[in-house]
Amino acid sequence: MQRLDYLKETPSQTAGPYVHIGCTPNFAGIDIYGGDLGTALKTGPVKGTEITIKGTVYDGMGMALRDAMIEIWQPDAAGLFASANETRGEADPNFTGWGRSPGDMETGEFTFETVKPGAVPFPDGRMQAPHITVWVVARGINIGLHTRLYFEDEAEANAADPILTRIEHQNRIPTLLAKPEGDGVYRFDIHLQGPQETIFFDI
């Protein structure tokens, strides 16, 4: 019999306490590269509704993490990704879709200046509600956590979303909803564990 061998994905390891040295060195006080990657999602005038997302990552004791790194990935206002794998059209040239934030040094609060994403189809063709992919790493997290940010003010689209509707514990869905705070600002707090634990994904 032949062997059915494939390579194994490299084991993940915690990003450790100093992920900022590697991924946002200028933020960490290492003056190098002339700037950190992912600091601006908008590189010029963008189409669509400009929004600000703020949030904090909390541990199981309710403590704000100040050593996390949060990344977001999203389509533009028309639902197109600025990716080499986007085949449906050309994304807004002034929008990268990718943001990276180390959070505030004192409070841990992260901020992204971005645009409200357009809808993107599910593999079976149904439309998904507008959402942003969120990825969290920090000391103590052995493998990066995937989640999604949906918008509380998209109730109709959320009610039809192929992923939100398959969640068994519907009472946990609010953990995935960014809440409007006025002036185009949304709050999206992430709870790593406890009664408000954010729904994390295995994708």
Partner 1 sequence: MSRSTPPQQGGFIPRDRDWQPDALTPAYKTSVKRSPQAALLSFPTTLSEETSPVFGQDMLGPLDNDLIHNYAQPGESAIGPRIILHGRVLDEFGRGVPGALLEFWQANAGGRYRHKKEGYLAALDPNFGGCGRTITGEDGSYELRTIMPGPYPWPNGLNDWRPAHIHFSIFGHGFAQRLITQMYFEGDPHIKLCPILGAVKSQEAVDALTALLDMKRTVPMDSRAYRFDMVLRGRRQTYFENRKEGL
Containing H/E element for 136? strand 131-137
Nearer to partner 1, 51 or 96 (CB): 96
Q: Which of 99, 100, 98, 78 is nearest to 89 (CA)?
A: 78
Residue type, position 114, single letter: T
* Closest distance of CB 59 from partner 1, Å: 4
* Closest distance of CB 43 from partner 1, Å: 12
Nearer to partner 1, 51 or 134 (CB): 134
* Closest distance of CB 182 from partner 1, Å: 27
Q: Would you mind telling me the total number of residues written for the chain in this entry?
A: 203
* Closest distance of CB 183 from partner 1, Å: 27
Q: How far apart are CA 13 and CA 142, in angstroms?
A: 5
Nearer to partner 1, 18 or 107 (CB): 18
Residue 173 neighbours by CB distance under 10 Å: 16
Q: How far apart are CA 102 and CA 50, in angstroms?
A: 21
Residue type, position 40, single letter: A
* Closest distance of CB 157 from partner 1, Å: 15
Nearer to partner 1, 93 or 181 (CB): 93
The CA-atom distances, in angstroms, between 90 and each of 34, 85, 114, 120, 123 are 29, 11, 18, 14, 20
Nearer to partner 1, 1 or 84 (CB): 84
